[in-house]
Amino acid sequence: DVENKLVLIELDSKDLLDAQLSQELEYQNSLASLTDAIEQYEIQLKQNESDITASELEVYFARMDLEKYLGENLATELLETLKTESGNVEGDEASQNSGVVDFSQYAHPDKLGDGEARQKLRQLEDERALSAEEVGLAETKLEGTKRLFEREFVTKTQLDNDQMAYNRKVIARQSAETSYELFIKYEFPKEAQKLLSDYEESLRKLERTKKLAHSKIAQAEAKRNSAEARHALQTRKREDLLQQIEKCVIQAPRPGLVVYGTGEQSYRSETIEEGATVRERQVLLTIPDTSVMAVRVQVHESFVKKIKPGQSARIRVDAYPNEQLTGNVHRIAVLPDSQNRWLNPDLKVYSTTIHIDGEYEWLKPGMSAEAEIIVEVIPDALQIPVHAVFLENDETVCYAQSIFGVERRPVKTGEFNVSFIQIIEGLDAGESVLLRPPDTRRARQGADTGVDAPREEDSAPNAEAQSVEPKQRKNADGATPGRGGRPE
C-alpha cells in the first residue's frame, strides 16, 4: 500500500484551488513589480553616476575658464584666499559664497598671470602708447606744414589735411585711453567676477546633484526593498497554498494499522466519514505502534494519591479473561477526566496510562480491559471484606459470628482497597463476620412483648458470614483497580 501510494483520506480542495488561482495572479504581479523595482534601482544608479560626472565636469570647466582668464597662479591664490577651493565639494568650502571681490587691485600686468586678462591689458596699453606716439608725430608734421604754409610752400588744402590727420590721432588716443580705463574699471572686474561666480555655482550644483542622487537612490532602494518584501510574502502564501493542496490527499506513510480519528469512542468524538466537516488541528488518522501497547484506566480521586509512575500492575483483557498481563504505570493525568466531569460532576477520576510488558499478537488497540495497580505489599495482613466494616456513632465496628451468637466488635482498620480492608486489632484469624449489620429493631420488639428474641444469627437471615483470613501477601490496599481501560 505504501509503494502503491494508497489514498487514506482525500479532503475537498475546491476552495483552496480557487484561492490558488487568485494567489498566482498576486504572485505574478508582485514578481513584475519586483523586477521593475530592481531595474529602476540599477537605472537610478547609472543616472546618478552620469549626473555627478556632468556636474564635476562643469566644475572642472568653470575652473579652467577662471584660470584661463586670470592665470593659473592668480586663480589658485584667489580661490585659496576666498576658501572656495573644491578639495571636498560636500564640505563647508563648497557652500561658501565669496560675494563681490575688488578685482581692480589685480589690474596690472605684473599681478595678472598668463591669461586673457593680461593679454587684453597689454594690448590696451600698447594701443594707448602707439596712439600717443602717433599724436606726437601728427603734431610734429602739422607744425612743419604750418611753417611751410606761412612761407607759401604748401597749399591750404595740405594744411587742412595735416590738421585733420592730427585731430584723428588725438581722437584715437582718447579712444585708447577710454578703452583702457573702461577695461580696468568695468570689463575686467565684471568678467573676473562672472567667471568666479560661475565656478562657485558649479560647486553648489555639484553638491545639489550629489544630495539629489542620494535621495533618489534611497527612494529607489526603498521601493526595491518593499517590492522584495511583498514578493516574499506572496511567495510564502503561494507555497503555503501548494502545501495545503498537496496535503489534501493523505497517503499511507508506512505499513501498519490505520485508525480513523483518535480511536476513542465518546459522545464528544467526531466521526470521520465521507462528507463530514473537519476542523483545524483535528486528528483524522492514527497509526498506532503495536510494538508498545498500553492501557488507559480511570483512577478514582480517593486512590490517585497512592499511584506513582513505575508501580507494577496486573491487567486482564475482557476478550481474553484467562490471560493475565503485567505492566508498569507510565503517566498519571494532572487534571480529572473532562468526559466524566460532564457526565457526573461529582465523580472525579484521573486518566492513568499503564505500559504493558511484552508483545501479544492477539492484543489489539481499542479492546476493553481492567487493571489492578499494586501500590503497596503488606505481609501477613489480616483482612476482611470492606462491606463487613461499619461506622456507628463515630466508631468503626464489625459483627462477628461466635458460639454465643453475633457480637459487635470495635475494630481498628488499616489500609484498604475496593474489596478488602486490613484489620489491625479487634478480630482474630478464622473468625466469621457479617456483611450486613443484624436487625436490632426486631430484637427490641420481642423483649417488650415478652417473646423470646430470636438469636442474632436468626435475626439476620439475609446476612452473609465470611471468615477472617490472614494473607501472606496483601494486595487489598496495595491494588487499585481501573475499570473500562483500553489497550493503546
The predicted-structure confidence for 244-286, as pLDDT tens digits, reads as follows 999 888 887 777 677 777 655 554 566 777 888 888 888 888 7
> Are 468 and 433 contacting, i.e. CB atoms less than 8 angstroms apart?
yes
The predicted-structure confidence for 28-66, as pLDDT tens digits, reads as follows 999 999 999 999 999 999 999 999 999 999 999 999 999
Q: What is the pTM of this model?
A: 0.51
What are the cell numbers at 44? 537610478
pLDDT for 268: 56
> Are 141 and 165 contacting, i.e. CB atoms less than 8 angstroms apart?
yes
Can you tell me the distance from the alpha carbon of 277 to that of 256, in angstroms, rounded to the nearest whole number?
26
pLDDT at 240 over 90: yes
- 501498519: which residue's cell? 256
Can you tell me the distance from the alpha carbon of 292 to that of 328, in angstroms, rounded to the nearest whole number?
12
CB-hemisphere CA count at 13 Å for 389? 26
Domains, the chain, in order of start with CATH, read 29-242 (no CATH), 293-374 (2.40.30.170), 378-473 (2.40.420.20)
Name the strand (E) or helix (H) holding 316. Answer: strand 312-317
Can you tell me the distance from the alpha carbon of 2 to that of 4, in angstroms, rounded to the nearest whole number?
5
Mean of pLDDT values over 357-385: 87
Please provide residue 326's backbone torsions phi and psi, each rounded to the nearest 5 degrees: -120, 160
The predicted-structure confidence for 78-107, as pLDDT tens digits, reads as follows 888 876 444 444 444 444 455 677 777 777
Q: What is the DSSP string of 270-307?
A: PP--TT----TT---EE---TTS-EEEEEEEHHHHTT-
Looking at the chain, the number of H-run helices and the number of E-run strands are 10, 19
> Are 262 and 283 contacting, i.e. CB atoms less than 8 angstroms apart?
yes
Tell me the one-letter amino acid at 155. Answer: T
Can you tell me the distance from the alpha carbon of 161 to that of 145, in angstroms, rounded to the nearest whole number?
10
> Are 377 and 475 contacting, i.e. CB atoms less than 8 angstroms apart?
yes
E strand map for 386-440? 390-392, 395-402, 405-410, 412-416, 420-425, 432-434
Mean of pLDDT values over 431-442: 77
Can you tell me the distance from the alpha carbon of 109 to that of 92, in angstroms, rounded to the nearest whole number?
33
Displacement of CA 334 from its chain's centroid (Å): 33
> Are 107 and 184 contacting, i.e. CB atoms less than 8 angstroms apart?
yes
Quick one: residue 99, left, alpha or beta (phi over 0 = left, psi -120 to 50 = alpha)? left
User: Within 10 Å of residue 87's Cβ, how many Cβ atoms?
Assistant: 7
pLDDT for 343: 66
> Are 264 and 339 contacting, i.e. CB atoms less than 8 angstroms apart?
no
Please provide residue 191's backbone torsions phi and psi, each rounded to the nearest 5 degrees: -65, -40
Rg of the chain on CA atoms, in Å: 61
The closest alpha carbon to 398, from 371, 433, 423, belongs to 433
The predicted-structure confidence for 134-186, as pLDDT tens digits, reads as follows 999 999 998 998 888 888 888 889 989 989 999 999 999 999 999 989 988 88
The closest alpha carbon to 72, from 103, 107, 108, 114, belongs to 114
